[in-house]
Amino acid sequence: MHRSILIVISTLIALGTVFEFRAQTTQQAPAAKPALDPAKLAEDWMTRLNALDDWYLSVDGKEVGRDEVVNKMMELYARDVIAEVPPHDEEQIGPVLLRGTANFKKWVDKISRTQVKLLYIQKRQTKKQFEGEKLVYSTPLPWGGVGISFEIIAAYSRREDRRKFMAPGSVFLQYGVDGKIERLRLYLSEHAEVVAL
């Protein structure tokens, strides 16, 4: 009789341990999502921006690879992205606020069509023994996700005449918990033409 009771109790204990373990593993699963790395996010954004001129013309005059580089840039953004970008029209005064990917894509598309030799770089800073550090400022957002900002120098040539320009600036990006950019602010100050001495 005692033996039967012992068997029942040990079986119940074993089952309880198994259920507890399963419950823990199911609770742990969502935590496996990788955290957003500000430095990598900044690097990725710059790489995709600089790739916007990586397309060619075929011998019969067709654009080759332009849609791909534009779509690669657009992959980063949430559908309802809000983007504040510099004027991209000679008649436009002040920044432009674009809402949604459809509007924002027009801006990305325009860069791919009008600019070549894109070389946007992250500014570096040296202090004490630390040489040429790319600084990316970041903060967790109260509603989830992460906000990052960094200084840049924009360098590009106009496609129509190959005149080269440079402008210092800064980028502010807000990423949602899904890793998509929900807000972008790109500030570029005065554009100076680069001319040979």
Partner 1 sequence: MNRVLILIAGAIAGSVLVAAAFAEQHRPYNEIMKDVASAFASLKKSLDANSAAAAAADAAKLQALFTETEAFWAPFETKDAMNFAKSARDAAAAVSAAAKNNNVKTAQSSYAVIQKNCANCHFAHREETGKGFLIKP
- Binding positions for partner 1, rule: CB under 8 A: 55-61, 63, 116, 159-162
In the numeric block, the tokens 């809402």 are attached to 99
Residue 161 CB, nearest approach to partner 1 (Å)? 5
> For residues 59 and 197, which CB has a smaller minimum distance to partner 1 in the complex?
59
In the numeric block, the tokens 């992250």 are attached to 122
In whole angstroms, give the CA distance from residue 175 to residue 140.
9
> For residues 33 and 163, which CB has a smaller minimum distance to partner 1 in the complex?
163
Torsional class of 117: left (φ above 0), alpha (ψ -120 to 50), beta (otherwise)? left
Q: What is the DSSP letter of 28?
A: H
CB atoms within 10 A of CB 148: 21
Residue 72 CB, nearest approach to partner 1 (Å)? 18
Residue 99 CB, nearest approach to partner 1 (Å)? 28
> For residues 35 and 59, which CB has a smaller minimum distance to partner 1 in the complex?
59
CB atoms within 10 A of CB 46: 19
Residue 156 CB, nearest approach to partner 1 (Å)? 14
> For residues 127 and 162, which CB has a smaller minimum distance to partner 1 in the complex?
162
